[in-house]
Amino acid sequence: MTGKKEAPPLRRRGERMRQAVLAATVDLLATEGLAATTVAAVARAAGVHETSLYRRWKTRENLVFDALATHSDHALPTPDTGHVSTDLTALFTALARYLATPEGAALLHLGTVRGEDDLEEGRRSYWSARLGRAEALVRRGVERGELTADTDPHLLVEAVAGPLLARVLLTGEPLEEAVVPRLVDLVLDGARARRPDQR
Amino acid sequence: MTGKKEAPPLRRRGERMRQAVLAATVDLLATEGLAATTVAAVARAAGVHETSLYRRWKTRENLVFDALATHSDHALPTPDTGHVSTDLTALFTALARYLATPEGAALLHLGTVRGEDDLEEGRRSYWSARLGRAEALVRRGVERGELTADTDPHLLVEAVAGPLLARVLLTGEPLEEAVVPRLVDLVLDGARARRPDQR
DNA sequence: CAGCTATCGCAAGTCGACTTGCTTTCGAAA
DNA sequence: TTTCGAAAGCAAGTCGACTTGCGATAGCTG
């Protein structure tokens, strides 16, 4: 036997526990699928009690979404090629690619805002942050003179991102990457065609 | 007493039962909210056994979605003003207005495609039908010469509808009707700007 | 190192979605 | 009218999400 205790129940607390649980969740998600990623299963895999999960994340959806949101951070680039078109295409192609994976689809489904007030704030802020990143690309394009000053970055980004999300969530269409540049071109052309006296 | 039977347990079957249940579901949804619209509650309200609901609709989500889908049929117009811009604006303004209601939001949430194969076919076909209706408007515009022949109706419609859905589902933004004409203009301008030699 | 408290472990239980096996009855064809 | 299969009623039970109350302890603070 080792000199140390054989298997101290491996008490996890605070941030350490959080990390272990999120890792176990992502792992379960990838290997067993969303349906099998039950709260009890995650608790077992992470060596933590089920109640603790509920106390920290309140609901299963919060837990899984948190895990996926944290995990997805490393999946989306922040391109800066000097051209709005290229930047947007790169960013949203990566998004499309990610949404085509099981994890991406799950993230999208669980990232849906249901109630009004509660702690869904996490969901809202997550998407706001992601879309905000894309809006920055557009703003840089405006500063470079590629787009007119009256361009609405928010609307423009929504027009590109919305269809991608809608495909996955609504019609379940394959979401080929080829649509991304077509969408970007369509929307950018539309933005450039706008007359400045537009109200 | 009446000459007829006083209260024969009001046996409902087949199509009659279906109508009664869907009506009861919509009613519950409107008065008590989505959370209170439990399968047991619907069964009680419709005077039908819970098991019967499961046998016909398989899941609660299918039931509620079916009820809302049937109900929403009367909420969306099929405009024909002679101009693509006006037509699309009218159609999607109505959609935006509907999505702003509790029923509309619920429909959107429950209309989300989750699994792959099963009987989610209803969801997919529902949205395909709606979007197809909008695509017809675009096609008419092409025939009238308002848009070039290489216009992709599917992509164009997605570009307008996607952002509306995304707002409700993801960021939960208010979804003011004013964005609809702006979106329509943006996308139509983009479509008109496309060069025919585009691959 | 003693003390304190937020955090976690644990047991027991609620609730609603969904299933299964069996009986009853409607309703239409023979 | 008789008959017979599909559709509905009914009972009992599984399963997973979520709650509650209480006892145990980790781990920072003085």
pLDDT digits (tens, 9 = 90+) for A125-155: 899 999 999 999 999 999 999 999 999 999 9
Give yes or no for a contact between B64 and B25, defined as CB atoms under 8 angstroms apart: yes
Cα–Cα distance for residue pair B126/B128, rounded to 1 Å: 5
Nearest to B96 by CA among B165, B157, B183: B165
A136 interfaces chain B, CB cutoff of 8 Å: no
Please tell me the pTM assigned to this model: 0.85
Give yes or no for a contact between A166 and B158, defined as CB atoms under 8 angstroms apart: yes
Q: pLDDT tens per residue, chain B (199 residues)?
A: 333 333 344 567 888 899 999 999 999 999 999 999 999 999 999 999 999 999 999 999 999 999 999 988 878 888 999 999 999 999 999 999 999 888 888 898 888 877 666 667 778 888 999 999 999 999 999 999 999 999 999 999 999 999 999 999 988 888 899 999 999 999 999 988 765 444 4
CATH of B75-193, one of 1.10.357.10, 3.90.400.10, 3.20.19.10, 3.40.640.10: 1.10.357.10
Nearest to B110 by CA among A114, A79, A134: A114
Q: Lowest-pLDDT range, A1-15, A71-85, B24-38?
A: A1-15
pLDDT digits (tens, 9 = 90+) for A37-46: 999 999 999 9
Nearest CA in chain B to A186: B190
Nearest CA in chain B to A127: B171
pLDDT at A35 over 60: yes
Cα–Cα distance for residue pair A172/A6, rounded to 1 Å: 50
Interface with chain B: mutation pick from A126, A131, A186, highest number of B CBs within 10 Å: A186
Q: How many angstroms is C1' of D8 away from CA of B49? A: 8
- Grade residue A102 by pLDDT with cuts at 50, 70 and 90: confident
Contact assignment for A161 to B161 by CB distance below 8 Å = no
pLDDT at B198 (0 to 100): 43
pLDDT at A118 (0 to 100): 61
- Homologous superfamily of A14-71 in CATH? Homeodomain-like (1.10.10.60)
Interface with chain A: mutation pick from B109, B186, B192, highest number of A CBs within 10 Å: B186
Long-range CB contact pairs, A148-155, < 8 A, 24+: A148/A191, A148/A192, A148/A194, A148/A196, A149/A196, A150/A194, A150/A196, A150/A198, A151/A191, A151/A194, A152/B182, A155/B163, A155/B179, A155/B182, A155/B183, A155/B186
- Grade residue A10 by pLDDT with cuts at 50, 70 and 90: low
Q: Which amino acid is at A73?
A: D
Chain D positions with any atom < 7 A from a protein CB? 7-12, 16-21, 25-27
Q: For the residues A187-194, what does the mean pLDDT come to? A: 86
Residue extents of the structural domains in chain B: 14-59, 75-193
pLDDT at A115 (0 to 100): 67
Which CATH fold would you assign to the domain B14-59?
A: Arc Repressor Mutant, subunit A (1.10.10)
- Grade residue A76 by pLDDT with cuts at 50, 70 and 90: confident
Cα–Cα distance for residue pair A154/A130, rounded to 1 Å: 12
Question: Which nucleotide's C1' is closest to A52 (Cα)?
Answer: C8
pLDDT at A94 (0 to 100): 94
CATH of A76-193, one of 1.10.357.10, 3.40.120.10, 3.30.70.20, 2.40.160.20: 1.10.357.10
pLDDT at A51 (0 to 100): 96
pLDDT digits (tens, 9 = 90+) for A51-74: 999 999 999 999 999 999 998 887
